[in-house]
Amino acid sequence: MTFLKIKTISKRYGEVQALDIIDLDVAAGSRTAIVGPSGSGKTTLLRIIAGFEQPDRGQVVLDGEVLADGPAIVPAHRRGIGIVAQDGALFPHLSVAENIGFGIERGAPDRAGRIAALVDMVELDRAMLERRPHQLSGGQQQRVALARALARKPRLMLLDEPFSALDTGLRENMRKAVSRVLQTAGITAILVTHDQTEALSFADQVAVLRDGRLVQAGTPQELYLAPVDAGTATFLGDAILLPAEMADGFAVCALGRVAAGSTRSGKGEIMLRPEQLQLGLIEDGAVADGCVGTVTDVEFGGAVCAVTLKLADRHGGGLLMVKSSSIGLPSIGSTVRVTIRGNAHVFGTQRSA
């Protein structure tokens, strides 16, 4: 069921078209991530949903209530929307308990009990209730900010790059914790982020903005495996883009004849993700058939490493980057055979199962 409907939203700042006819549906209880490069319009869209900006045209409808119809809007404080900002925006002079309880009326029954329950929900120790924000780590501050937003029992939660200031390991733990909390509370959430990995792992739906336009929206798997164009493909992760000749469900390219799962014929462009390519060492003196290359560089990355190959002259002699397990990594100068797992994606078509 559609809970939030964004209909033909447009916004201009002087000569800059920040948003250009955006349509997006968000299901009840789901998590949507809005991603895009700087200047793509994602923060402007979030601010329009929150009520901090007026659209020039279009509607924002939340649970059947029209919050914006062109410049006519419902004020932000009357929307029932919670917001967690990048820096948490906690009140430095208030304790953790006072920050969380800021949105709860002082005379509300069992106010202290509600604050304690919220602390438990965001997985903080109750011993922290009397601390001030400066006595907390970055991750703890974000948990307090989330608890404060949840205290108002919002219909919708907006997360504006809330993990970007955290260290990598902590960011991943916080992302999982926030996802658990929102799912437990049954709250629909929208995350704005520039981190593609964060978007793909957090959301049920990912919406990609570029130059103020909605390029593609769908499940993380759909966007990663079947991006609508090369720009979306490379934005969402490493991609190998190759010109190819399509026929009979296959694509003939620099890597040879690759299964494409497409009924298209003629010239086109295909995409492979680096993890689809598998390397096999060719022993000295062995016949080097299929797609062959020489290892020119190995970048160790722990569980997943990047191996750069120079393809044989019969394959065009270009460079190719492959993701490989750290176990059995080929050495620089060795000759390897490249095999491809799964289908290539042909731009302009849907990927087959």
Averaged pLDDT score across all residues of the chain:
89
pLDDT band at 53 (very low <50, low <70, confident <90, very high): very high
**Phi, psi torsion values for 260, nearest 5 degrees:** -120, -20
Angle at which helix 138-151 crosses helix 168-185, to 10 degrees, equals 20
62 DSSP β-pair partners: 4, 65
Q: Which residue has the higher pLDDT, 229 or 1?
A: 229
Type of residue found at 74? V
* DSSP secondary structure, 198-247, as one string: HHHHH-SEEEEEETTEEEEEE-HHHHHHS-SSHHHHHHTS--EEEEEEEE
**111 C-beta neighbours (distance < 10 Å), count:** 15
How many contiguous H segments (helices) and E segments (strands) does the chain have? 8, 21
Distance, in Å, from the CA atom of 198 to the CA atom of 166, rounded to the nearest integer, reads 12
pLDDT band at 353 (very low <50, low <70, confident <90, very high): very low
Lowest mean pLDDT among 66-80, 171-185, 212-226, 330-344: 171-185
Angle at which helix 111-121 crosses helix 138-151, to 10 degrees, equals 130
**Average pLDDT over every residue of 137-162:** 88
Residues 22, 42: contact at Cβ < 8 Å? no
Closest C-alpha among 42, 7, 69, 81 to residue 192: 42
At 28-45, the pLDDT tens digits run 999 999 999 989 999 999
pLDDT band at 352 (very low <50, low <70, confident <90, very high): very low
Instruction: Dig out the tokens for 147 from the structure.
Output: 């608890």
pLDDT band at 102 (very low <50, low <70, confident <90, very high): confident
Closest C-alpha among 347, 330, 221, 220 to residue 278: 330
CA 267 and chain centroid, separation: 31
**Adjacency order of strands within the sheet including 256-259:** 256-259, 250-253, 240-247, 266-272, 345-346
Share of the chain above pLDDT 90, in %: 55
Instruction: Dig out the tokens for 33 from the structure.
Output: 């991530």
Q: Which domains does the chain have, with CATH numbers?
A: 2-231 (3.40.50.300), 274-340 (2.40.50.140)
Q: Is 96 helix (H, G, I), strand (E, B) or coil?
A: helix
Q: What is the pLDDT of residue 88?
A: 67
At 312-326, the pLDDT tens digits run 887 778 888 888 888
Q: What is the pLDDT of residue 349?
A: 56
DSSP state of 137: -
User: What is the pTM assigned to this prediction?
Assistant: 0.85
